[in-house]
Structure 1
Amino acid sequence: MGVSPSSALQIVINNPGVLDQVYKVDQAKPLGQGSFGIVRKAKVKSTGAVRAVKSISKQLMKEKMNILMKEIEIMKAVDHPNSIMLYEIFEDERNLYLVMELCAGGCLHQRVRSSGHLREADAAVAMRQIFRAVFYLHRSHICHRDLKAENILLSTSASLAKTLLKVSDFGLSCTFRPKQYLLQRVGTLTHMSPEVLEKKYNQSCDIWACGIILYFLLSSDVPFQDEAQILRGRVSYSSKAWWDASQDVVAFLGRLLVKAARRQSAEQALQDQWFEKCLPATVEPVLRFTLLDDLRTYRELNKFKRAALSTVASMLDEAHISESRDIFASLDTDGDGLLSVAELEERLRKISLDKAMHRAYGRREIERIFQDMDDVGAPLKDFSYTEFLAATFNRAECLTEAVCREVFNALDKTQDGIIDFKELVSGNMPAPWWEPVLETDVAVAVVVVVLVFVVLLLVMICCRCC
């Protein structure tokens, strides 16, 4: 199978080792079971972080292996708080094992069915997260093509205001070029847009599907049942569930469930007045004073160390990343999954509690944070979601020897206890990540053995970043 690196972790996540050496898999009741495999709960042995492991039979999937490979490649490219994360891939003679985020709250469809339908405020909370994920996917030139409430997972069983929603199931997703038309009729009929039925569409088909999801959240039903109804495009609001609906949400649905030429983009949808009026007030997390120093120090590290820290972040449990995740979500005001200079500067200017921080960091100092020190002449680089987590997690608590050894194993693709020069340049990370490494930390040796690597992380990274 393909060995392209994960965009989030900046390493190849295909692990040649044995799944049970890294994860303790719960062999009791599975979380789910489908035609091609089983999903089980697992824990990272070094950190206790809970994950979902999807085992897929190679024999059963042999006729559709190319579809699975496309799905995996798209999951590798996704890095957003509201999209499911693929952490690692294992393989043996019989199965592929995909290690992913565990969403213990079930799916959005189940949540709606159990409550009858949602209040508008709760629907706004859910749809804002879904649109943020779709905005990110479209900015990354990915069209999901099967958005529906069943494919929106909840991180926990807490209320919608207190849990993260995650877009999942990229089995029908594809990449696209600007102005390209997609020609395959794929997806779930009740969520297909008219142009999908006509086999000439673009990424705006996802926006139509978001409209169907919103309609479902508020009524526990879908507006269209068959092709004729979809092509006719008449949305009914006559059921009892719509008696108390606001004019704003009906108007919003009218901007989503409309011909593609007049349909809103995800970015436009996020700016709709319905969200402004319906979203409940939230308290923005306070930025700790050391946050900007953490971001600046992270960007000053070479790519090898940054990739190692990103791998560490992928192994941490919810308790160690929740604060950083919430801060990132509050700073990423447009929801595109990237933290920009303008967004950070605006936050510092806006919040009175951060006046001291704003005085310490003017425009020039903020721009330095976004400078890639491995490529000084390049344009300023936004922080991705995983980069932000990697830059801001608590080093003193999380960088244990056990974690460092697991990071080493993730980079040691031959599993011989040594990372040699051939492995450094073999594609385990995107080129030319290893060039600055050869000029710094490992220039003194042809190989990096496990003890040296552990010391490298614990001393050179922990001491510089704590």
Structure 2
Amino acid sequence: MGCGNSQVRDIERKQISDEKTAQTQANSQKGNKKNSPIPKEEQQILIQKEMYIKEINSKDIREDYFFERHLAQGEFGDIRIVKHKKTGQSRALKIVAKNKLGVKEKQVLNEIKILSKLDHPNIIKLYEYYQDRYAYYLIFELLLGGQLIEYIQETSYLPETQSASIVQQLLSAINYCHQQKITHLNITPQNILLNIDEETNQVSIKIINWFFSRSFEENDTFSEQINNITYKSPEEINKSYNYLADVWSIGVIWFLILMGVPPFYGINRKKTIEAIQNIQMRYSCGFSIKHDSQIQEIFKKIFVSQDQRMKCQDILDHQYFKDIFQEFDQNDEKYIQNLQKQKELRQKDLIQMMSYHSHSKFYQAVVNFIGFYLVGDDEMQKLTEDFQRIDVNKDGQLSREEIRSGFEGFFIEQITDIDQFLDELFQKIDCNKNGYINYNEFISVAMDKINLQQDTKLKQAFSYFDQDQNGFITKEELFQSLQSQFNDDKNIEKMWQTILEKGDKNKDGKLSYQEFIDMLKQLS
């Protein structure tokens, strides 16, 4: 008991020290003339994550990547580990042969389109894609923890807190998708990959295989037969279902994790279909579930007709998740150590956010590219964990209230006008102007600023804008990099004129790498 209280006091002393550091930085910003707003015309330019996911068909993929070992054979193609030649980062490559595609080419292009839009820590990240006459080559983040189905089969028993964490992550990702009016339609344990922290044994998930995903409106229905029968809802079997088929599939997976068997089962396919259509759920297992009554209550609201089925946000808001994650022994040494680690990480991230300057949309674009493409795996994992702690309602994006709560207990007492502070913070960080801080926006401003000083990473960022790789960024290349349905050419033109005024030292109408570096220093 005494040891635990002593450690808590150590945390509090460390917090006071960091608050003083933050106050010093906040005060220095008030008097800093560099902290001027982004020009009005540039404010209209939206920096979207999808801008960074490029098709590269001008060169062979082997010019950029070393091919390493075979990883798996997926439904649509071969999966290999590759290493980027310039950054040294390992990634996963999915090779989809065109001669095997047939009608499936449309689905591959659909996956690229959907993943370009989605920005959530539990959704697989697509970096870029290549194609030649023989195949598509899709570059993804690398996960080595295997499929969820393998983890279930290999682990005789999952602690209830761990199963709740996995399901909460799954619900958060699909909740985010549904808010973006996108439905996955093929949620199975085979389409969920894992990362497992060797120190803590903590499991994080990523949803993969978005070939069959769709954009939808609230009253849209679908008829295609996509999912495995085990994870199908009655409406899917009857060929008239909506986006809430995803919720049914999540319920089946949750049941499978807890019980080791699916909720609806027959001695053959016909009997299984009958069990699903009649919603004859079997609820028996050899494990003790502490919150059994709460889980049964949730299942009864998932395994119903889709017009009565709970939505993801309703499940996430259920008392069950509040209860299951509050059952910690506060005198446990591991709990104290984890608390200290979490506080230190959040303090660091919040200080980075407070000290972030953005005087140009071009600077925002560069920073967001590095955050999206070049942050190392260990740092990304820590930032992701902190993002998820601040994301209280688990919708995959940070609201003003969540950011306000994130600062409480740390630096909020040092801020004289919290509403004005939040206005200024969102103006700097909310690059796509959707009223939230999205996952990549958070990573970009909370990452260690050493990322903006490393020559290798800056050269990669320069290379993104230097689309013909001739050593200069031109007006045309800036347009190609930032052009989207949301951005007016006139605003990009004005941004280019500002770039030339600040960065084009030799007045040749383009930006060299050295001019690019010098200008970033001015804008940071």
Per the TM superposition, whether the score is higher than 0.5 is yes
Which residue identity lines up with residue 235 of structure 1 in the other structure? Answer: M
How far the C-alpha of 1:278 sits from its partner, in A, is 2.0
In structure 2, the residue matched to 1:22 is 64
Q: In the alignment, which of 142, 166, 186 is matched to residue 126 of structure 1?
A: 166
TM-score by length of 2: 0.78
Structure 1 contact 185–199 (Cα < 8 Å) conserved: yes
Q: 1:153 aligns with which of 193, 216, 219?
A: 193
Q: Residue deviations 1:384-431, cap 9 Å, x none?
A: 101111112112255321212222222233333333222222365432
Supply the AA of the counterpart residue of 1:11.
Y
CA distance in 1, matches of 2:474, 2:385: 38
1:302 corresponds in structure 2 to 360
Match of 2:79 among 27, 39, 44: 39
Question: Unaligned 5+ residue runs, structure 1?
Answer: none
CA distance in 2, matches of 1:169, 1:294: 34
SS at 1:90 equivalent: strand
Report if the CA contact (8 A) 2:50-2:117 is conserved. Answer: no
Q: Are the structure 2 counterparts of residues 285 and 20 from structure 1 closer, same or farther at C-alpha, using a change threshold of 3 Å? A: farther
Please, which moves more after superposition, 419-428 or 257-266? Answer: 419-428
Report what 2:400 is aligned to: 341
User: Match for residue 371 of structure 1?
Assistant: 427
Seen in structure 2, the aligned counterparts of structure 1 residues 160 and 113 have a Cα distance that, compared at 3 Å, is farther
1:182 equivalent in alignment to 2:222: yes
Q: Which moves more between the two structures, 161-170 or 260-269?
A: 161-170
Secondary structure at the counterpart of residue 415 of structure 2: helix
Tell me which of 441, 458, 461 is aligned to 2:499: 441
Q: Does 1:450 align with 2:513?
A: yes
1:165-199 per-position Cα deviation (integer Å, ceiling 9, x unaligned): 11111111111012222232321111011111222
The alignment partner of 1:32 has SS state of strand
Give the greater-gyration-radius structure (CA). Answer: 2
Question: 2:291 matched to 1:249?
Answer: no
Is the CA contact 2:53–2:129 (under 8 Å) kept in the aligned structure 1?
no
Q: Tell me the CA shift for residue 289 of structure 1.
A: 5.4
- Match for 2:446 among 385, 392, 409? 392
Task: For 2:55, give the aligned amino acid.
Answer: N
Partner of 2:474: 420
The alignment partner of 1:42 has SS state of: strand
The answer on whether the counterparts of 1:345 and 1:363 sit within 8 Å (CA) in structure 2 is no
In structure 2, relative to structure 1, the CA distance for the partners of 1:180 and 1:380 (3 Å cut) is closer
For residue 13 of structure 1, what is the aligned residue in structure 2?
54
Q: Any unmatched runs of 5+ in structure 2?
A: 1-45, 266-271, 329-337
Alignment of 1:96-175 (within 5 A): 96-156=136-196, 158=198, 162-175=202-215
One-letter code of the match for 1:135? N
What letter matches 2:460 in structure 1? E
- 1:407 aligns to what SS in structure 2? helix
Contact 2:92 2:140 in 1 (8 A): yes
**In structure 2, how many angstroms separate the alpha carbons of the residues matched to 1:412 and 1:78?**
25
Which whole-Å CA distance do the structure 2 matches of 1:156 and 1:243 have between them? 23
The one-character-per-residue Cα deviations of 1:215-241 (angstroms, maximum 9, x if unpaired) are: 110122112243211101011113434
Alignment of 1:40-55 (within 5 A): 40-55=80-95
What SS does structure 2 have at the residue aligned with 1:347? Answer: helix
TM (norm. structure 1) is: 0.87
Identity among equivalent positions (%) equals: 23
The whole-number CA distance in structure 1 between the counterparts of 2:415 and 2:394 is 27
Q: Which amino acid aligns with 2:470?
A: D
Q: Tell me the CA shift for residue 363 of structure 1.
A: 2.1
Residue 451 of structure 1: how far off its partner (Å): 3.7
2:459 pairs with one of 401, 405, 409: 405
Question: RMSD across aligned C-alpha pairs, in angstroms?
Answer: 2.9
Evaluate the alpha carbon distance shift between residue 92 and residue 388 of structure 1 in structure 2; reply closer, same or farther with a 3 A threshold.
same
Mapping for residues 225-304 of structure 1, pairs under 5 Å: 225=265, 226-241=272-287, 246-279=292-325, 281=328, 283=339, 284-286=342-344, 291-292=349-350, 294-295=352-353, 298=356, 300-304=358-362
Structure-2 separation of matches of 1:307 and 1:184: 39
Following superposition, the deviation at residue 117 of structure 1 comes to 3.8
Against the structure 1 CA distance between its residues 262 and 42, is the aligned structure 2 distance closer, same or farther, given a 3 Å change threshold? same
**1:48 Cα deviation (Å)?**
3.0
Query: Is the 1:126–1:160 Cα contact (8 Å) retained in structure 2?
Result: no
Distance, in Å, in 1 between the alignment partners of 2:185 and 2:240 is: 13
Aligned residues: 450
Given the superposition, is the C-alpha separation of residues 123 and 35 from structure 1 closer, same or farther in structure 2, using an over 3 Å criterion? closer
AA matched with 1:247: S
Write the deviation string for residues 189-214 of structure 1: whole angstroms up to 9, x where unpaired.
Answer: 11011111222222111111110000
What displacement does 1:296 show?
Answer: 5.7
Cα drift, residue 104 of structure 1? 1.1
Q: Report whether the alignment pairs 1:213 with 2:253.
A: yes
1:359 is the counterpart of 2:399: no
CA contact (8 A) 1:156 1:164 kept: yes
